[in-house]
Amino acid sequence: MTEHEGAPEQAELELPFQLPTTPLEPLPEDWESALVIAAHPDDVEYGAAAAIARWTGQGKRIVYCMVTSGQAGIDSMPPEQTGPLREKEERDAAAVVGVDEVEFLGYPDGVVEYGLPLRRDIARAVRRHRPDIVITGNFHESFGGGMLNQADHIAVGRAVLDGARDAGNRWVFTELLDEGLEPWNKVRAIWAAGSVEAQHGVDVTDTFELGVRSLEAHAGYLGALPGHPEPRDMLGMFGRATGPRLGVEYGAAFEVYPLMLY
């Protein structure tokens, strides 16, 4: 029996945008460590967390790095209260899927800018953690053309592409050498979760329930969003739309940007 069997029947939500139906190629899993870099607490939980649970269950080491603390995410709560709440909820969410290290870069929520400071901080994180794979979120301008992406997601994703490469160049951000951080040029690829341009995916049927529990850990945040669907319903909608592209019940899609040959 898989973990999600026996769960309450899920409501059928309609996708707010059109997803492709072409088959997905399974992601390689012959790697040992990953660094997940996202703009906000909760970004990972909208689909990628079930994949993280699969990989930590295989014994892989995964670290989360949040660029902001989500301080501007709750209209009824001032940022100085929202930030600590959302940091705690993210740590709780990460623990559900087997991630025990979560760090926050402290950028202001909602106004993250692509640029050298962000590239430098991402390169620093990559050099410190020395991952095989870097994971981020969709950073295209929209989700399928029908729903605009958020500005922080776009800025962070672009900076992840460049910062992960900067991490391997000794002569870019030489101040990192003064910090004792030697270059790391062994990131095999950057994977962008939830991209409509995805051509790869992973079976999350057996870890779907953990993904749901991970998103549910953001109870304070989700409770402040009027009309937000139940986590199980929302994740089920996306998981069931992606699963058939892999020949499974629930799937998670990723766009792959190779930095090294596999």
**For the chain, how many structural domains are there in total?**
1
CB under 8 Å to 59, separation ≥6 — which residues? none
Whether residue 103 is contained in a domain is answered as: yes
CA dist 70 and 87 (Å) reads: 8
Predicted pLDDT at 16: 66
pTM above 0.95, yes or no: no
- Of 18-27, 46-55, 204-213, 239-248, minimum mean pLDDT range: 18-27
Whether residue 3 is contained in a domain is answered as: no
Residue 107: domain span: 26-258
Predicted pLDDT at 17: 65
CA dist 80 and 187 (Å) reads: 35
Whether residue 18 is contained in a domain is answered as: no
Whether residue 10 is contained in a domain is answered as: no
pLDDT level of residue 21 (50, 70, 90 thresholds): confident
Whether residue 14 is contained in a domain is answered as: no
Residue 181 to residues 107, 124, 169, 178, 190, Cα–Cα distance (Å): 22, 7, 11, 7, 21
Whether residue 1 is contained in a domain is answered as: no
Predicted pLDDT at 145: 66
Mean pLDDT, residues 224-253: 96
CB under 8 Å to 151, separation ≥6 — which residues? 110, 111, 112
Mean pLDDT of the chain: 93
Predicted pLDDT at 6: 46
Predicted pLDDT at 261: 56
Predicted pLDDT at 147: 82
Whether residue 200 is contained in a domain is answered as: yes
Whether residue 80 is contained in a domain is answered as: yes
Going through 91-160 in order, the beta strands assigned E by DSSP cover: 102-107, 133-137
Question: What percent of the chain shows pLDDT beyond 70?
Answer: 93
pLDDT level of residue 4 (50, 70, 90 thresholds): very low
pLDDT level of residue 12 (50, 70, 90 thresholds): low
- Whether the pLDDT of residue 106 is over 80: the answer is yes
Mean pLDDT, residues 111-139: 98
User: Which CATH number fits the domain that encloses residue 108?
Assistant: 3.40.50.10320
Per residue in 153-201, pLDDT tens? 999 999 999 999 999 999 999 999 999 999 999 999 999 999 989 999 9
